[in-house]
Amino acid sequence: MADAKMPYSLNSKAVAEATKSWLHKRGVTIEEIADLVMLLQKHYYPNLTMEECIHNVEMVLSKREVQNAVLTGIQLDVLAEEGKLFPQLQDMIENDEGLYGVDEILAFSIVNVYGSIGFTNYGYVDKLKPGVLERLNNKETGQIHTFLDDIVGAVAAAASSRIAHRKQAEREKNLGLPHAPEDTEEAAKKLTGSNAEKPE
């Protein structure tokens, strides 16, 4: 029947689009995150372009774990703004309580996807709050970004890790060294004209 409930099945495209859409609604652009990446990486790669930074942020945002953390964090920020949380949790999130560390925990699950080399970059931008992070930390706006500021810093740190991995691959290629491709590159290599990783 028309109104029979469909059995649940994850819709990954809907999750990916909700992630981008909520970042946008909360006032964060991909370019602003890419600016943080540039800030973190330009010292190491003087030729790094904004296009590369943007592409790497988008690749980070394509990862399911990252989407889960972004949506969950923004959800908690939005509910805090609406005053709909348990009173004690409401108090802590609304006031960005220093001893409440769940925002850092979600941020870490983002950084981790590209490995531990991103830990330092995350901590650094989270402490210094450059660019978009300064705006997200402005407590005068009435908006609550207790989770989002950590999330944005984590996405930038993860994109930086992704760049570091890619640049090493390029360096070895340019040196004519034998290169051992990582998972992503391997997947790409196997591909011959089809538009998805071959059934394994």
Between CA 37 and CA 199 the distance in angstroms is: 34
Report how far Cα 151 is from the mean position of its chain's Cα atoms: 6
**Residue 146, binding choice from its own copies, Mg ion, none, Cβ under 5 to 8 Å by partner class:** Mg ion
Should residue 77 be labelled a site residue for Mg ion when binding is judged by CB under 5 A?
no
Between helices 102-112 and 64-81, what is the axis angle to 10°?
Answer: 160
Should residue 3 be labelled a site residue for its own copies when binding is judged by CB under 8 A?
no
Should residue 168 be labelled a site residue for its own copies when binding is judged by CB under 8 A?
yes
Q: Locate 196 and state its tokens.
A: 């998805």
**Residue 142, binding choice from Mg ion, its own copies, none, Cβ under 5 to 8 Å by partner class:** none
Between CA 68 and CA 113 the distance in angstroms is: 12
Q: Which of residues 51-110 bind its own copies (CB under 8 A)?
A: 51-52, 55-56, 59-60, 62-65, 68-69, 71-72, 75-76, 79, 84-89, 91-92, 94-95, 97-102, 104-109
Q: Locate 143 and state its tokens.
A: 């908006």
Q: Locate 108 and state its tokens.
A: 């870490």
> Can you spell out the DSSP letters for 77-144?
HHHHHTT-S-HHHHHHHHTT-TT--HHHHHHHHHHHTT-GGGHHHHHHHHHH--THHHHHT-TTSS--
- Out of 27, 81, 124, 135, the only residue in the binding site for its own copies (CB under 8 A) is 124
Should residue 11 be labelled a site residue for its own copies when binding is judged by CB under 8 A?
yes
- Out of 4, 5, 14, 142, the only residue in the binding site for its own copies (CB under 8 A) is 14
Q: Which of residues 51-70 bind Mg ion (CB under 5 A)?
A: none
Contacts of 66 (CB under 8 A, 6+ apart): 19, 60, 110, 113, 155, 158
- Out of 35, 52, 77, 150, the only residue in the binding site for Mg ion (CB under 5 A) is 150
Q: Which of residues 127-146 bind its own copies (CB under 8 A)?
A: 127-128
**Residue 189, binding choice from Mg ion, its own copies, none, Cβ under 5 to 8 Å by partner class:** its own copies
Shortest gap between Cβ of 147 and its own copies (angstroms)? 10
